[in-house]
Amino acid sequence: MAINIALGQQLPRTYKAPEFDLEWRKPTDHPDRIVLSYGEDPATSASVTWRTTSEIDTAYAEIAIATAAPKFWRNAKTIKAITTRFDALGIDGAEVLSNHHSVWFTDLKSDTTYAYRVGDGKRWSEWIQFKTAPKESKDKFSFLYVGDTQNFILELWSRLIRESYKKAPDAKFIVHAGDLVNNAHNEQQWQEWFDAGGWIHASIGAFPIPGNHEYQNLGPEASERSLSVQWKHQFTLPENGPEGLEETAYYMDYQNMRIIGLNSNVDHGKQAKWVEKLLSETDKDWIIVTFHHPLFSASDGRDNKEWREVMKPIFDTYGVDLVLQGHDHSYARGRVSPDENVLDGVNLRDKTGTVYVVSVSGGKMYGLRKNAWEGYDAERDRAAENTQLFQVISIEDNRLSFESYTAVGELYDAFELIKRTGLPNEFIDRSDKAIAERRFYNTIPYEDPLPEGVEQSLLSKYPGFELKGVRFVNDKEFTGYKVRLDKGEERKELSLDVNGKILD
Ligand SMILES: [Fe+2]
Ligand SMILES: [Fe+2]
């Protein structure tokens, strides 16, 4: 194709996804994908899971109280692993045969630094350290929360999770609010997830719950979507969830906090009963709930009405403090009223009910809902577009501090909640210390920029349409722009030449 480029015209730099050889994601006899998690009681229990080739069918973990003297291993205990065969050779995108090994460490001493390693008796990982939770303590502890990892995982999530470790090296665990990968069964994407986090996954307990992208058909003939075939092999999580949802819905009590992970993809009614029981029986000071599909959508054209109608009354009744969500590939944080009568028409900013947050950590970005949370009985206080974020949440006795940071470590949002007897939490906005709000219009364009004037001429040619996607392509077959225009359900996909002229 002949390209007629105006003199001096700069073509946009094109994105080309990095290529990965098949070999890159294959297991070896040496342990990889090592991931730590906690049990229901992180003062006394933890789990570790790892992967090898299917040749390694007997595996062990060793654990000892860590000391500065290098031969702390003299006191180590050896525990035989449970090994599961992961035969996904016939599954599109997975095409792997491997063994996964897991061990539960139980009867641990609270508030103690342990070192563990995993292997087959000859080949071993390094000794990896973690600390158990103190028992019954109200001392300060912190954890991390990230939204959808999902896209450009190795390319762009790596910097985010490493920055989060720099900001909160003492974080006790990481909440992953679903959509860890884009294609549920895709081995390469899981390899990216494990590579990007590296030893952070092995050192800070993972608290992952599945998003819609962890569910996908197992093949073209499958009639329904299945949970990522890797999920149960590669994570070892508390099996205290509702029957049939083990390791996708579960909870943990960390010091004076109960954190509940829900699987918003399936069985809403069953989980409603379960979560209500958990909330009614706990005497923990702080209640945090995490799941993927937000009760109040951050982005346009999305609404999880049925899920909201099932869960919100329960969260209101039991005064859930904080809800951590994903799915919308943007940032939104706000509050609801704990009880309509308390408000009595006063200033909306005094609403001090449950705080809801949506966040995104990977590289895929959506636009924010046009009218904030209008139409929901909630107020959105702070939002972002086009920004990779992680959150550090700290709890000390009756105070919870929430800080959201960008991928380069700038404070983006902050607030505190203070527990008050018989009253809703006091809410203190600390976002005055944060950087200015970020949107598509004041950040590096997410879509490839069209030549000047082309957007206006497209929109006048197609009245009522909105420009939804622009991708500059420069390869053997085509050089020019692929453009998407939407008007409600109607969609136009156009090819333009480098000057923006529509090609038929
Ligand atoms: Fe997502
Ligand atoms: Fe999602």
For residues 487 and 204, the model is more confident at 204
Identify the nearest ligand to the CA of 151 by its number.
1
User: Which DSSP letter does residue 303 get?
Assistant: -
Q: If you measure from the C-alpha of residue 467 to the centroid of ligand 2, how many angstroms do you get, rounded to a whole number?
A: 23
Q: If you measure from the C-alpha of residue 402 to the centroid of ligand 1, how many angstroms do you get, rounded to a whole number?
A: 22
CATH 3.10.450 for the 1-29+448-504 domain, yes or no: yes
Q: If you measure from the C-alpha of residue 392 to the centroid of ligand 1, how many angstroms do you get, rounded to a whole number?
A: 21
Contact partners, residue 32, CB within 8 Å, separation at least 6 = 50, 51, 52, 194
Answer yes or no: are the C-beta atoms of 247 and 292 closer than 8 Å.
Answer: no
Q: If you measure from the C-alpha of residue 327 to the centroid of ligand 1, how many angstroms do you get, rounded to a whole number?
A: 4
Identify the nearest ligand to the CA of 361 by its number.
1
Identify the nearest ligand to the CA of 365 by its number.
1
β-pairing verdict for 331-336 and 389-396 = unpaired
d(CA 137, CA 325): 27
Which residues crowd ion ligand 1, with CB under 5 Å? 148, 150, 179
β-pairing verdict for 257-261 and 466-474 = unpaired
d(CA 43, CA 30): 30
Q: If you measure from the C-alpha of residue 159 to the centroid of ligand 2, how many angstroms do you get, rounded to a whole number?
A: 21
Superfamily of domain 137-440: Metallo-dependent phosphatases (3.60.21.10)
Identify the nearest ligand to the CA of 148 by its number.
1
Q: If you measure from the C-alpha of residue 298 to the centroid of ligand 1, how many angstroms do you get, rounded to a whole number?
A: 12
Identify the nearest ligand to the CA of 297 by its number.
2
Which residue type sits at 476? K
Domain layout of the chain by residue ranges: 1-29+448-504, 137-440
DSSP lists the bridge partners of residue 503 as 495
Q: Mind giving me the DSSP string for 436-461?
A: PP--GGGSS-SSPPPPTTHHHHHHHH
- Least confident span in 132-136, 276-280, 447-451: 447-451
Identify the nearest ligand to the CA of 359 by its number.
1
Identify the nearest ligand to the CA of 294 by its number.
2
Q: In a 10 Å sphere around its CB, with 0-12 CB exposed, 13-18 middle and 19+ buried, how is residue 406 labelled?
A: buried
Convert the pLDDT of each residue in 56-98 to its tens digit. Answer: 999 999 999 999 999 999 999 999 999 999 999 999 999 999 9
Identify the nearest ligand to the CA of 292 by its number.
2
pLDDT score, position 183: 96
DSSP lists the bridge partners of residue 416 as 401, 428
Task: Give the start-end residues of each E strand in 81-127.
Answer: 82-87, 97-105, 113-119
Among 182, 174, 181, 168, which residue's Cα sits nearest to residue 146?
A: 174
Count of positions (residues) in the chain: 504
Among 241, 235, 217, which residue's Cα sits nearest to residue 291?
A: 241
Q: Quote the percentage of the chain above a pLDDT of 90.
A: 84
Among 366, 407, 396, 320, which residue's Cα sits nearest to residue 146?
A: 407
Q: If you measure from the C-alpha of residue 148 to the centroid of ligand 1, how many angstroms do you get, rounded to a whole number?
A: 5
Report the 3 state secondary structure along 383-396: EECCCCEEEEEEEE
Identify the nearest ligand to the CA of 293 by its number.
2
| Other Cβ atoms within 10 Å of 1 Cβ, number | 9
Task: Give the start-end residues of each E strand in 459-501.
Answer: 466-474, 479-487, 490-496
10-15: Cβ within 8 A, 24+ apart? 11/472, 11/474, 11/479, 11/498, 12/448, 12/449, 12/472, 14/448, 14/472, 14/473, 14/474
Q: If you measure from the C-alpha of residue 121 to the centroid of ligand 2, how many angstroms do you get, rounded to a whole number?
A: 40
- When pLDDT is averaged across residues 435-448 and rounded to a whole number, the result is 95
Which residue type sits at 64? A
pLDDT greater than 50 at residue 206: yes
Q: If you measure from the C-alpha of residue 214 to the centroid of ligand 1, how many angstroms do you get, rounded to a whole number?
A: 10
Answer yes or no: are the C-beta atoms of 208 and 176 closer than 8 Å.
Answer: yes
Q: What are the φ and ψ backbone dihedral angles of 291, each rounded to 5 degrees?
A: -165, 175
pLDDT greater than 90 at residue 337: no
Convert the pLDDT of each residue in 1-52 to its tens digit. Answer: 455 666 666 778 888 899 999 999 999 999 999 999 999 999 999 999 999 9
Q: If you measure from the C-alpha of residue 247 to the centroid of ligand 2, how many angstroms do you get, rounded to a whole number?
A: 18
Q: If you measure from the C-alpha of residue 333 to the centroid of ligand 1, how many angstroms do you get, rounded to a whole number?
A: 17
β-pairing verdict for 399-406 and 389-396 = antiparallel
Identify the nearest ligand to the CA of 180 by its number.
1
Identify the nearest ligand to the CA of 330 by its number.
1
| Other Cβ atoms within 10 Å of 35 Cβ, number | 24
Q: If you measure from the C-alpha of residue 262 to the centroid of ligand 2, how many angstroms do you get, rounded to a whole number?
A: 14
Answer yes or no: are the C-beta atoms of 116 and 63 closer than 8 Å.
Answer: yes
Report yes or no on whether pTM surpasses 0.75.
yes
103: left (phi over 0), alpha (psi -120 to 50) or beta: beta
Q: If you measure from the C-alpha of residue 153 to the centroid of ligand 1, how many angstroms do you get, rounded to a whole number?
A: 12
Q: If you measure from the C-alpha of residue 300 to the centroid of ligand 1, how many angstroms do you get, rounded to a whole number?
A: 14
Report the 3 state secondary structure along 335-377: EECCCHHHHCCCCHHHCCCCEEEECECCCCCCCECCCCCCCCC
- When pLDDT is averaged across residues 291-305 and rounded to a whole number, the result is 93
Convert the pLDDT of each residue in 93-123 to its tens digit. Answer: 999 999 999 999 999 999 999 999 999 999 9
Identify the nearest ligand to the CA of 181 by its number.
1
